[in-house]
Amino acid sequence: YREGLIYKDKRLVNWDPQLETAISDLEVEQRETAGSLWYFKYPVEGEEGRTLTVATTRPETMLGDTAVAVHPEDDRYADLIGKHCILPLVGRRIVIVADEYADPEQGSGAVKITPAHDFNDFEVGRRHGLEMINIFDTRACINDAAPEAYRGLDRFEARDRVVAEMQALGLLERVEEHDHTVPYGDRGGVPVEPYLTDQWFADAKTLAAPAIKAVEDGRTRFFPENWTKTYFEWMRNIQPWCISRQLWWGHQIPAWYGPDGEVFVELSEEDAVAAAAAHYGKKTALTRDEDVLDTWFSSGLWPFSTLGWPEETPELARYYPTDVLVTGFDIIFFWVARMMMMGLHFMDEVPFHTVYVHALVRDEQGQKMSKSKGNVIDPLELIDAYGADALRFTLSSLAAPGRDVRLAESRVESSRNFATKLWNAARFCQLNGCVPDADFDPAAVQATVNRWVVSETARCGREVTQKIEGLRFNEASQLLYQFIYGTFCGWYLESAKPLLDGNDPAIGAETRATAGWALDQVLLMLHPFMPFVTEELWQSLAADRASDLVRAAWPVHPDGLLDEEAEREMSWVVRLVSGIRSVQAEMNIPHAARVPVVLIGLGDEAAAWFERQRSLIMWLARLGDASVGEAVPPGSVQMVHDEATVALPIADVIDIDQEMQRLNKEKAKRVAEIDKSKKKLSNQGFLAKAPAAVVETQRERMAEEERAVVKLEEALARLASIG
RNA sequence: GGGCGCGUAGCUCAGCGGGAGAGCACCGCCUUCACACGGCGGGGGUCACAGGUUCAAUCCCUGUCGCGCCCACCA
């Protein structure tokens, strides 16, 4: 106030006649409404029989008309400018003015002017020094400024009465159907009225300037970035902000009035009394302004007022500015913009460096959920059915930046299943003594599967960290889902089973410790996404934790934990096992058959891998035996695995036709790939302009496919010789 | 009237310049000693349409069609 940023003014404000208070522009909601456009004839003074036609969507406001405006260059009305009409029903003499606001294309080209009840008319009224007649009371009923017959009528009753009377007088020219937008109060739920009252205003334009600059300079950034544009758009066109409300709750405005209306704005009543005494030269009784501040004005102070400001508290020093503000786009104007303005003004520093604008959860039809529409999905019901972790995980995995989400219950169910999966995996670990060991060093493990899971865990951890830091929460949760479900549960725990009770106690112990470590890493990483189940498991897996999981440090995975050798070896095993399983399923070979597998033509490296992982492969693919051979045994189902041929000899059980069909299908697929590659590699433009690495990849790919096709042809030939 | 965004597998959605992915649903097999809220395997997509840029387009540009949202004083 003392800086001139807050002032009292008599202006048109948006008035909610239901709540009987002023509201801000932002609290007004435009609703598409099917209405009418009434054409009224206003008799011209002194010209018998001549009338001027005006069109209006709000007949009742004519009771407050103080002019008619026409465009200065509108020839139809040029001779009327400066003359007067006699306002029907009221009898007031109103002037005909020339003003560019009147649009010759609209309605009749002449427009009635009601300065006290329309924002445009208010401006016209100011330009022409027109009288401003307020015809409504605070409930939007007609007041004593109108003819007696209308007093006390509700605005809609008054509308009907005006139309009926005009018609009776023969002054209603015609009525057109007219769709237009009507302003409604978003809380009161009834049409708002432009209303002339004394209110407090904030000079938003001045406050906005530094807030605009801060975002231009990148001191505060929006994520996703496109909201920056929305912010600028609003801030650069900002209007004076009406900050007083005629409500019972909120910060009461610290303004006191003397008997003559003099205003004393002070921090306390004592100060106001003192100021008044000084002003009047004697002690004078004051009355305090009854209005309170707009809730968003108070909320705009939140980043520092909650921390003890204006005292320089340790909290203020520590938490102002904060770093990331998380909010919905619908709050950017209401709150984010105001916090920026207030923060920069009072603290001279932005309140936060990043605004993360999250998605809005919509209902199944894609509608924004709202209490008034009654389409709110109650999170408590979903939590009852699937758990809080499941809901939280679902929302985080659907939170793709810049996109709203339609909440599909099936995703919540899937998340619940995921939580159950984790729970069971942890139970398995516990039952097998796979618990955290304080002395465990993940960099020192020996067995390939253990080295591999350490490496994969570290890789996952680094990627998840990166995604979280980049605010890509959906990608982080997806990585975790895949790692935990696929890598950890699907491959690692299955591979660990034979080692836990195997004949090498040292490997068994190492595996137990590795699994315990990996599970801990999983809990640490998943905790932000599923806080409850991870915390429960964290505490139940070990009694002597240094801290609760919620307070545990975020895991760091150094380069040293990455092990490309182990990853390559296990990737080979995984692909081999998947291939064998696929063939088994397709050829209807039951696991119970425990068929053997023979690998032919292994390279040196693969031969070493096979040697080491032979029993693991047998275990994972449920095989009776696995061996290296020189030739494909007769009666084998065959598949290509890199440079090798893999044979499952099932002798007399084999269905030659079915097998040939399967191999031919596989071959056709690969031949199609080769054709595509050939086409690319014969394209001179591609060879000349594509990066060398891309060309090389293409060559390798083709070579690999060609090798596979050769193998497949050999396999087909062998079958043909049997058949 | 301005601005933003979306149309990818039946459904809900990721991906956004170098051979299309997930969850659910669907089909087949499996009561294998953590888990049937499970396991293994599989089918399914001219990435809305039309042009353009590029050696290369689901991805970039332009336009069209459809859908949604925000802002705005049209009587």
Protein-to-nucleotide distance from the CA of A115 to the C1' of B74, whole angstroms: 16
Total length of chain A: 723
**Residue A104 confidence (pLDDT):** 87
Q: Is A36 helix (H, G, I), strand (E, B) or coil?
A: strand
> Residue A569: pLDDT band by 50, 70, 90 thresholds?
very high
Check pLDDT > 90 for residue A378.
no
Protein-to-nucleotide distance from the CA of A364 to the C1' of B52, whole angstroms: 38
A402 contact to strand B (CB, 7 A limit):
yes
Protein-to-nucleotide distance from the CA of A713 to the C1' of B44, whole angstroms: 29
Place of tokens 């031969």: A607
Check pLDDT > 80 for residue A195.
yes
**Average pLDDT of span A371-377:** 68
Q: Is A332 helix (H, G, I), strand (E, B) or coil?
A: helix
CB < 7 A to strand B: residues 75-134, chain A: 101-112, 119-120
Check pLDDT > 70 for residue A250.
yes
Protein-to-nucleotide distance from the CA of A146 to the C1' of B63, whole angstroms: 56
**Residue A370 confidence (pLDDT):** 66
A54 contact to strand B (CB, 7 A limit):
yes
Cα A64 to Cα A369: distance, rounded to the nearest angstrom:
40
Q: Is A245 helix (H, G, I), strand (E, B) or coil?
A: strand
A474 contact to strand B (CB, 7 A limit):
yes
Check pLDDT > 70 for residue A723.
no
* Residue bearing the bigger pLDDT, A408 or A222: A222
Taking a C-beta distance cutoff of 8 angstroms, is the pair A234, A288 a contact? no
**Residue A578 confidence (pLDDT):** 95
Minimum CA–C1' distance nucleotide for A688: B55
Protein-to-nucleotide distance from the CA of A166 to the C1' of B10, whole angstroms: 61
Protein-to-nucleotide distance from the CA of A700 to the C1' of B50, whole angstroms: 36
Q: Kindly report the number of other CB atoms within 10 A of residue A383's CB atom.
A: 15
Cα A72 to Cα A81: distance, rounded to the nearest angstrom:
8
Nearest to A454 by CA among A494, A514, A512, A509: A514
| Global pTM value | 0.88
> Residue A570: pLDDT band by 50, 70, 90 thresholds?
very high
Check pLDDT > 70 for residue A193.
yes
Summarised one tens digit per residue, pLDDT across range A34-76 is: 889 999 999 999 888 899 999 999 999 999 999 999 999 889 9
Cα A93 to Cα A66: distance, rounded to the nearest angstrom:
8
Summarised one tens digit per residue, pLDDT across range A276-290 is: 999 999 999 999 999
A181 contact to strand B (CB, 7 A limit):
yes
In SS3 terms, A159-205 reads as HHHHHHHHHHCCCEEEEEEEEEEEEEECCCCCECEEEEEEEEEECHH
Check pLDDT > 90 for residue A530.
yes
Q: Of A395-409, A412-426, A526-540, A673-687, which gets the smallest average pLDDT?
A: A395-409
Minimum CA–C1' distance nucleotide for A580: B41
Place of tokens 């470590």: A517
CB < 7 A to strand B: residues 189-218, chain A: none
Burial of A61 (0-12, 13-18, 19+ CB in 10 A): buried
A32 contact to strand B (CB, 7 A limit):
no
When the pLDDT of each residue in chain A is averaged and rounded to a whole number, the result is 92
Protein-to-nucleotide distance from the CA of A591 to the C1' of B32, whole angstroms: 9
Check pLDDT > 70 for residue A374.
no
**Average pLDDT of span A461-484:** 94
Closest residue (Cα, C1') to B69: A368
> Residue A520: pLDDT band by 50, 70, 90 thresholds?
very high
Protein-to-nucleotide distance from the CA of A569 to the C1' of B11, whole angstroms: 39
A475 contact to strand B (CB, 7 A limit):
yes
Q: List, as one string, the DSSP characters of A401-413.
A: TT--EE--HHHHH
A591 contact to strand B (CB, 7 A limit):
yes
Cα A435 to Cα A519: distance, rounded to the nearest angstrom:
8
Query: Which one-letter DSSP state was computed for residue A13?
Result: E
**Strands A596-600 and A625-629, how do they pair?**
parallel
Minimum CA–C1' distance nucleotide for A226: B4
Q: How far is CA A482 from the centre of its chain?
A: 23
Q: What percent of chain A has pLDDT over 90?
A: 80
How far the first Cα of chain A sits from its last, in Å, is 99
> Strand B: which nucleotides have any atom within 7 A of a protein Cβ?
2-6, 11-15, 18-19, 22-25, 28-30, 32, 34-35, 37-42, 54-56, 67-75
**Residue A301 confidence (pLDDT):** 96
Q: What is the helix (H) or strand (E) element at residue A463, kind and residue range?
A: helix A448-469
Check pLDDT > 90 for residue A502.
no
A26 contact to strand B (CB, 7 A limit):
yes
A58 contact to strand B (CB, 7 A limit):
yes
CA dihedral angle for residue A711, residue A716, residue A719, residue A723, rounded to 10 degrees: -170
A489 contact to strand B (CB, 7 A limit):
yes
Protein-to-nucleotide distance from the CA of A665 to the C1' of B46, whole angstroms: 22
Q: Of A36-45, A163-172, A223-232, A420-429, which gets the smallest average pLDDT?
A: A223-232
Enumerate the β-bridge partners of residue A22.
A15
Protein-to-nucleotide distance from the CA of A470 to the C1' of B59, whole angstroms: 21
Protein-to-nucleotide distance from the CA of A381 to the C1' of B7, whole angstroms: 31
> Residue A180: pLDDT band by 50, 70, 90 thresholds?
confident
Given its phi and psi angles, is residue A506 left (phi above 0), alpha (psi -120 to 50 degrees) or beta? alpha
**Residue A174 confidence (pLDDT):** 92
> Residue A563: pLDDT band by 50, 70, 90 thresholds?
very high
CB < 7 A to strand B: residues 594-653, chain A: 622
**Residue A367 confidence (pLDDT):** 66
Sign of CA dihedral A602, A605, A606, A611: positive
**Residue A361 confidence (pLDDT):** 82
In SS3 terms, A255-307 reads as EEECCCCCEEECCCHHHHHHHHHHHHCCCCCCEECCCEECHHHHHHCHHHHCC
Closest residue (Cα, C1') to B70: A230
